Chains A and B, each alone.
Chain A
Amino acid sequence: MSLTTTSLAETVKKQYFYKLKANIDSFSSLVGIQILAILFSLGGISSSGMGGSFVNVNVKYYSPDLVLVFTLIWSFITAVTITTRPYRNHDFSFVTSRLSSSLSNILFLVTASVLGSVTALLSGNLLQMISYLILNEQLYNIGSGAEHMVLGFVVAFLYLMLIGACGYLIGSLIQVSKLFVLLFPILFIGLLFLEGVVTNGFIVSNVYKFYAMESVLFLFVGKTVLTAVALFIAAISILNRLEVRR
């Protein structure tokens, strides 16, 4: 048999389409988790009321915020899952290198984030439709139009990518040593406690401010993209040394 050659790009492309089919379950769990979030949001995610002797006004807000939060959790879990041993072994049954495996994983996470952000945002419209048609609420739509939609989509996508990248790095660290399974929750919860003690805000609130309170879109995109890329590069260099099927 004569030797054949392949390129990194070609292999990544093949693996990407392979993973779209192989990880179809993660998309069905996305649907499930979003339906759950929609159910939770049906009462309105917040409400305020005021009234006098003749008028009574009750305002409920229907927005996809909760759906987005659930989708963020889903993105994190999906990213951790695809770093686990069975998923890496699936790659090694066919043509792969550790780099191509990670690159196709990242492409898969990008696709998942696009899908997650689009569905999460559209679920806002679904919520409003349900409240109008089924719950017979009077609807006043604040903030709509194509521009609003695109902006929402971009921001949601970037958040999902950022969380996905965190999940991918944490997942790959766990593959190096199972001790990280213990370490990360301790670290996270410990930081939250510290946060309560220190008056001026500690790491968590500063990180939150840095990413979530940025009002300049350009800066926000720069921060999230650069962070995600850095996290992915760190994860790739960790996964690059891991032995499989031992």
Chain B
Amino acid sequence: MKVIESKGITKNYFRKQVLKELTFSIEENKITGLIGRNGAGKTTLLKIIAGFIRETSGKMNVFSETPFNSLNVSVNSIFVDDQMSFPPALQLGELLNEAARFYPNWDDQLARKLFNYFSFDAKGYHNRLSKGKTSTFNMIIGLASRCPLTIFDEPTTGMDEAVRKDFYRALLKDYIDYPRTIILSSHHLDEIEDLLEDVLLIHNGMILLHMPVSDLKEWAIGVKGASEDVLDFTKEREVLYKNSVGMNTLYVVVKNDFSEEALNKAHQLGLELTPVRSSDLFVYLTTETKGGIDDVFNNN
């Protein structure tokens, strides 16, 4: 069953087009990573899915319904980010009680255990929590609500290393016990890639890739060897990344659609073929400008 179906979703803020004709679908009970650089349109897309904002054109279906103003989508989904706001009059313990009343699948035992594990004070207030603690509390609400569609938008903002690891582990354990559709947005692909089944890579409001993580790992290939041979081997292909290593040695990343023959030939030429880490590939694919940050500071 398709939980999310998006057909040509476009979103404009004033004159700026943030999302450009996004068409994709997300299957039930999969963990999908929504990956993109800052300002790529991740949050905008997730807010349309959650029904917070309305698309400018196109058709978004969540559980076969338009999410904007749908109670069914609202009760079956939760959107967790660091901007989640709660009434300042309610204490943290009371907020858990309220969440329990609203979400039918709420697991109170899990919520209280996590609450104690991360040493929250039931009498504390949400607006007095630190950045990392806020994210941690929101994450607890997100996990314990057990919504069939759980959306985490950069859930680890402000969390320290230990809490981040705990969170990913908790997410995975709870997902295995209670499989559900989870969308995790982040710009740290290497941190979450072991968790993900699918990756949805967006850049400048457009979809670059949507594929299983295992395919992403084999999507590109790094070729290293004598410059001439490398250039010859990769000619007429789009070069994703190029780096000279020492004298007369070149490392080039290209899309991995070589035939068996071609690969054998490469071996004979003495070219070193290596898989590309998906987080590196993500950076190569989304680099706007040629060159790097150093060029900004080079006056010439």
A residues within 8 Å of B by Cβ? Answer: 1-8, 11, 14, 17-18, 21-25, 86, 89-90, 92-100, 240-241, 243-246
Contact = CB atoms under 8 A, between A and B. Distances in A.
A4 B105 CA distance: 8
Contacts, number: 88
Residue in A3, A8, A92 with the greatest tally of chain B CB atoms within 10 Å? A3
Contacts of A17: 101
A223 B13 CA distance: 42
Residue in A7, A8, A246 with the greatest tally of chain B CB atoms within 10 Å? A246
Given A5-B75, A18-B101, A240-B69, A93 B54 contact: no
A14 B98 CA distance: 9
B89 interface: yes
Contacts of A24: 89
A243 B52 CA distance: 6
B146 interface: yes
B93 interface: no
Nearest to A244: B52
21 contacts: A1-B178, A1-B179, A3-B63, A5-B72, A5-B75, A11-B71, A11-B75, A18-B102, A21-B98, A24-B89, A86-B85, A92-B52, A93-B86, A95-B103, A97-B69, A97-B74, A240-B69, A243-B53, A245-B47, A245-B52, A245-B83
Q: Is the interface of A mostly helix, strand, loop or mixed?
A: loop
A5 B73 CA distance: 9
A5 B70 CA distance: 11
B76 interface: yes
B70 A97 contact: yes
Interface of B: 13, 47, 52-54, 63, 69-72, 74-76, 83-87, 89-90, 94, 98-99, 101-105, 141, 146-148, 178-180
Closest 4 CB pairs of A and B: A22-B87, A243-B53, A94-B102, A1-B180
A86 B85 CA distance: 7
B31 to A, nearest CB: 13
Given A90-B85, A100-B71, A95 B102 contact: yes
Contact of B76 (A3, A97, A245, A246): A3
A246 B74 contact: no
Contacts of B47: 245-246
B64 to A, nearest CB: 10
A84 to B, nearest CB: 12
B52 A246 contact: yes
A188 to B, nearest CB: 31
Contacts of A14: 101-102
Contact of A93 (B63, B85, B178, B179): B85
Nearest to B81: A245
A3 B148 CA distance: 6
Given A6-B104, A14-B101, 8 more contacts: A5-B75, A25-B89, A90-B85, A95-B103, A97-B71, A100-B71, A243-B53, A246-B52
Contacts of B84: 93
A21 B95 CA distance: 10
